[in-house]
Chains A and B, each alone.
Chain A
Amino acid sequence: MLRKTFREFRRIKLRVFASMLLISVGCATFYAMSAMMPSVRGSLHVVYDRLRLSDYTVMVDAAPVSVVDDIEGLDPVRYAYGRAHLSGLVVVGGQNVTADLLGFNATSMPTVNNISVTDGQYLDPDSPDSVLLEQRFAEEHGIGPGDNLTVTVLGRRHNFTVRGQFLSPQYVLSAVSPMAVYPTAGSLAVIVLPLETLQQLLGLPGHVNEFCVVFEDGVDREAAMSEVDDVLRDYGVRRTMKREDMFGYSFVETDLAYGDEFIGLLSGIIIAVAFFVSFSAMHRLVRTQRREIGVLRGLGYSQRSVLAGYIVAAVVFGLQSSIVGVLLAIPIAVPLSQEYMTSVSGFPLQEMVYPVTPFYIAIAIGPVATAMAMIAAAWSATHVPPHHAIRGEMVDMRPARATLVERGLGRVGWALSYPSRYVFRQTSRRRLRSALVVVAISVSMTVGATGPVIMSSVAGSFEYALTVHDNWDFVVSFSHHLLQSEVDDLDLAHAETVVPILRSGAHVAATSGESGNRSASIVALPWENSLHVPEITAGSGLGERGSILLVPRLAHQLGVEVGDTVTVFASGNSTELEVTGITSDILGDAVMRLDDARDLLGAPVASGAFVRASAGHDEELREELYRRGEVVMVQGRAETISGMRRMLEYFSDIVQVFTLLGILMTVLIVGNIVLIGSLERRSEYALMRALGFGGRTIAGVVAGETVLLTVVGILLGIPMTWVLNTWLEVQPLMQNIFPAYHVFFDWPQVVGTGVVILVTALLATVPSVRMLLRMPVHTTIRERQIG
C-alpha cells in the first residue's frame, strides 16, 4: 500500500516537489527567524556585558569625582563611573539639533557605559577640542573624523573637531531628548568630550553630575540602588534610571518581544499555507486513484488502513521537507541576524543561538501540514462505497435547489443567466468549501487591512490628541531646572502663553508595597492650563492636590487601579498620591500637579515649558527661544508631525509585510481551492464546451464563483477588521505606545485592500481557467460523476 502510494507520488513529482519546496522555505523562514531573535538578544547582552552597560544611573546636581570611589566601595557594586552629562545643541545643516554631551576621562576608556570606537581614535588628553560623535548620527548627517562641529552649551557656542565615531550600548537606538514628543532618527547627537573640557563648560572643575553603576550578580537590586542613593543624597539627586527604563534598551527589548509574537503568527500562517498547497497536490493524487481505492476496499482493506497508508506517505514527505527547511535555515539565519543586529543597534552580531523548541516546531510543521492535508484530501475518497469507487465515481448526493438570490430575483421578475445560476448553485451546494474560502478570504482581508487601519489610527489619534488636547506651538526643554521666577523672567516677546512643566525621574510604588517600586518619568504641570491637557482613558483628571494619573503600563506594573494610592520617591523625599485616572500622556509615565511635584522636589522649579506664540509670530518666537541660553531644545508642532510621519514610515514596512501576507494567503488559498473545484467539475465544464459555451463563458463561470466568494469574504473581513482593531484599541500595547489609541477607519485604504485582494483572487484563478480551456473536451466529458 505504502509502496504504491510512493510510486504515485513519483508520478506527480513536479507538484510534490513544489509543495515540498514551499514547506521547506516556510520551515527555513520560521527557524531562521526563530534563531534570529535569541541571537540578536544574546549578542546585545554580550555587547552590554563587554561594554558594561549600567544597571543603574543617577544624575545629581554636582559631585566631586572622588565620590565614585565611595560608590565603588559599596558591597553590591562591581563597577562605578562618574562622568559629566549635559544637554546642548549642535548645528547641523544650519539647524539646531539636540545633543547629549558626555564628559569622559580622556586618558582611559570608561569602566561603565563604555563605547566602541568604530572610526578614528579615542579622545586625546592633549586635544581638549577633539570629540567623538555617535556613529549613526554622524552617518545620517555625513560627518566624519576631521570635520568641525559647532555646539551650543548653556547659551554659548563652542567649536570642536570630530576625532572619531563610536557606538554605545546606552544609545542602541538613536534617541532624542526625553522632552521630545516623538523620537526621530538622527535628531539626537551624542558627543563624547574630554571630561576636563565639559567640566570647564559647566563651570565645575573636578566635578561630575552623573554616576553609572554595574552591580554584582545576584544582589538585591532595590537594596543596592538604595545604598547608591544614600551615598549621593547630599549631592542633589535629579534623576535615577534603571537599565530596563533606558530608552534604547527598553525599545529594543520591546521590539524583540514583538518579534517573538510575530514568529508565533508566522508559524501559524506557514502551516496554513503549507496545508493548502499540500492539499492541492494530494487531492489531485487521490482523485486519480479513486478506482484503485475502490479495488483496495474490494480486496478487503479497511477505510482506516487505506487512509493510514496515504497519511504515512504524506508525513514522510512532510518530514523530509521540514528537515531540508531546517538545514536551509542555518545559512539563512546568520546574515538575517547580522542584518537585524546592525539595524537595531549598529553593533555587529556577536553570537548565533539555535533554539531547541522552535527546532522541534520547525521539524513538526511539514509532517503536521501534510498529514492534515492528506486527511482532508483522502477522507471522502476512502469513504466512497467500494462498488462506486471501483467505477471511479464520487458520490455526491447533496440535493441542489435554487439559491436565495435566484428566488429573490425571481420574485421581481428577473432571472440569472445560466452561467451565473450555475455559479450560485455550485457555491450553495459546496457549502463547506465555500465557507472555507469565505473564511480564508475574510482572514486575509483582516490581516491585509489591519495594517493600514493601524497606520491611519495612529495618525488619527495623534492628530486628535494635538487638536483636542494640545494647543501649544512649541515644547521647550531647559538646560537645567529653572526657578519659577527665572521662567517668568524669560519675558518672551512673541509668546502669548507659557505653561511651565517639570519633568523628573522618580520611583513610584503602590502604597500597599506589593509590587516593589518602578522607575518612572513624572510630568508635572498646572492642571488648569490652556496648552496641554492629558487625555484620560479611565477615571477622571487630577482632582485637588494629592492626586496622580498613571499610564496603563505603569498602573499594570504596580498593580494599582483608579482609587488606589501610590508613593512617589524623588530627591530623597516621598509623597503619597491618589490615582484618580489613567492617562495616555505622551510625555511621561505619570502626571501630577506642578505644586505637588515642586513640594516633592523641594523647589519651585521647571524643566521646560509649553509655549504658544502670538498670532502669526511662530518663527520669531522660535528664533527668540533659540537665542535663550536656558533653552536646549525647541520642538514645534511641524517637527512633531514630521517626527510622527517618520515614525509611521518605520512602521509602514511592518504594515506592508502584513498586507503582503494577506495577499499571499489569498493567492494560495483561492488558487488551490479554485483549482481543486475546477478539477472536480471539469467534466461539467467540458459539457458546457460541448453544448456550445465558449472559453470566455467558462472563464466567466470560474471568475464569477471566485468573485462571489471573495466579495462575501471581503465584506465579512471589514467588520472583522473593525472588531480586531477595536480589541487592539484597549490592549496595553497600543495604549502604551501612542497617545490614547483610537480606531480611525480609513475607508479608502480598507476598500483599496479589498480591491487588491479581489484582483489577486482573480489572478489566482488564471491557472485553473487555463487548465480548463486546454483540457481535451472529448475525453474529459466522458469522465464519470454521480450527482
Chain B
Amino acid sequence: MSGEGAAMMIVELRDVCKEYLLGETTVHAMRHLSLAIDEGEFVVVLGPSGCGKTTLLNMVSTLDRPTSGQVFVDGEEVSAYTDSERTRFRAKKVGLVFQFYNLFPALTARENVEIGLAPVIKDAAVMRQRAEEYLRLVGLGDQVDKFPAQMSGGEQQRVAIARALAKEPRLLLADEPTGNLDAESGEMVWQLLRELNERTGTTVIAVTHQTDVARLASRIVHLRSGQLADTGQQGAVV
C-alpha cells in the first residue's frame, strides 16, 4: 500500500494480527488490521474499551510485536527489528505520552524532559536548552525545577508531552493522554497537542474514548473488536 496525494506516508500496518492469552482464553486484540497514516497527520483513534486502540499504539511504537502482519514506519519494517533496533527506533523517532504521565518522581520537570533526550543527545548544554525550550512551549517555563509531586495532573501531563516532543520525533503517540485529567485540563492538553502538530509538523496518533476530540483531528480511525470500523477526515466518524 502506498500513500495517496502529495503527503508522504509515515506509518503503515499491513494485515496485522495480535493475539494473547488471558488465563486460558485467547484474546484477539487486533484482527487483520491494515492502515496507512501520512506525515503531519493528527490522527485520533476512537473505539470502545478492548477494541485494540492501545494495541495499535504498541505496534507502531514497537513496544509490542504483532502476532502476524507487518508494521512499517518511514518505509522500514519496524515489526522485524531486533530488540536493540527497536530501542534505537524509539529513542530517535517516537515520542510517547501515557494516561498516567509516567514521570520519574525522583527527577524535576526539566530532568524528566532531559532524560527523554539522553539516549540521542550527549551534549548536556544542548539537552538543557532543548528541555527548557519545550517546557516553555507547553507553558511550564517557570516550573522547570519542580518535582512531579509538586505539580498538578495537567502540569505533569504537559511535562510528559514536552518530554515526548523535545526529541523532535517523527511520531508522537498518545495513549489516553487526558484520561486522568479533569475536563478543563484535558481540553488544554488536546489543544496543545493540536497546536504542536500544526507548528512542528509532527505526526500525532492519539487514542481516546472522548469522541468530542474528533473535531481536532485531521483524521479519525474507528476501531471495533480489533478491526478497522471506519476511517476518514474530520467529522467522518463521530
Contact = CB atoms under 8 A, between A and B. Distances in A.
B238 interface: no
Contact of B100 (A426, A429, A777, A782): A782
B33 interface: no
A777 B63 contact: yes
A778 interface: yes
Given A690-B96, A778-B58, A422 B107 contact: yes
Contact of B87 (A426, A684, A694): A694
B41 interface: no
Interface string A770-787: 000000111001101101
A419 B115 CA distance: 8
B224 to A, nearest CB: 21
Contact of A400 (B91, B115, B147): B147
B105 A787 contact: yes
B64 A418 contact: no
Interface of B: 54, 58, 61, 63-64, 83-84, 87-92, 96, 98-100, 102, 104-107, 111, 114-116, 118-120, 124, 147-150, 163, 175
B87 A693 contact: yes
A415 B119 CA distance: 16
Q: Specify which of B96, B107, B115, B148 lies most central, judged by the most chain A CB atoms within 10 Å of its CB.
A: B115
Q: Which 9 A-B pairs have the closest CB atoms?
A: A692-B91, A787-B105, A425-B106, A778-B63, A692-B119, A400-B106, A778-B58, A778-B64, A418-B118
Interface string A390-428: 000000110111000000000000010111011001101
A35 B9 CA distance: 78
A429 B106 contact: yes
B111 A421 contact: yes
Contact of A418 (B92, B100, B111, B163): B111
Given A691-B115, A692-B119, A776-B64, A422 B147 contact: no
A692 B100 CA distance: 19
Contacts of B163: 691
Interface of A: 396-397, 399-401, 415, 417-419, 421-422, 425-426, 428-429, 683-684, 687-695, 697, 776-778, 781-782, 784-785, 787
Nearest to A784: B100
A93 B151 CA distance: 86
B114 A396 contact: no
Contacts of A417: 118
A781 B83 CA distance: 17
Q: Which of B61, B89, B106, B107 has the most CB of A within 10 A?
A: B106
Contacts of A776: 64
Contacts of B63: 690, 777-778, 781
A223 B90 CA distance: 93
Contacts of B120: 692
A785 B104 CA distance: 10
Nearest to B63: A778
A687 B87 contact: no
A425 B111 CA distance: 12
Contact of B104 (A399, A687, A697): A687
Contact of A691 (B58, B90, B106, B111): B90
Contact of B88 (A419, A429, A692): A692
A782 B98 contact: yes
Contacts of A687: 102, 104
Contacts of A688: 115
17 contacts: A396-B105, A400-B105, A401-B147, A418-B111, A421-B107, A421-B111, A422-B104, A425-B106, A429-B105, A688-B115, A689-B87, A692-B92, A694-B119, A695-B83, A778-B58, A782-B98, A782-B99
A328 B87 CA distance: 51
Contacts of A690: 61, 63, 90, 96
Given A400-B147, A422-B107, A781 B98 contact: yes
Contacts of A691: 90-91, 96, 115-116, 119, 163
A686 to B, nearest CB: 9
A687 B63 CA distance: 10
A368 B119 CA distance: 47
Contacts of B58: 778
A425 B107 contact: yes
Contacts of B175: 782
Contacts of B54: 778, 782
Contacts of B61: 690, 778
A649 to B, nearest CB: 51
A542 B106 CA distance: 68
Given A418-B114, A422-B107, A425-B107, 9 more contacts: A396-B105, A400-B107, A418-B118, A690-B96, A692-B87, A692-B91, A694-B84, A695-B87, A785-B105
B126 to A, nearest CB: 13
A399 B148 CA distance: 9
A418 B147 contact: no
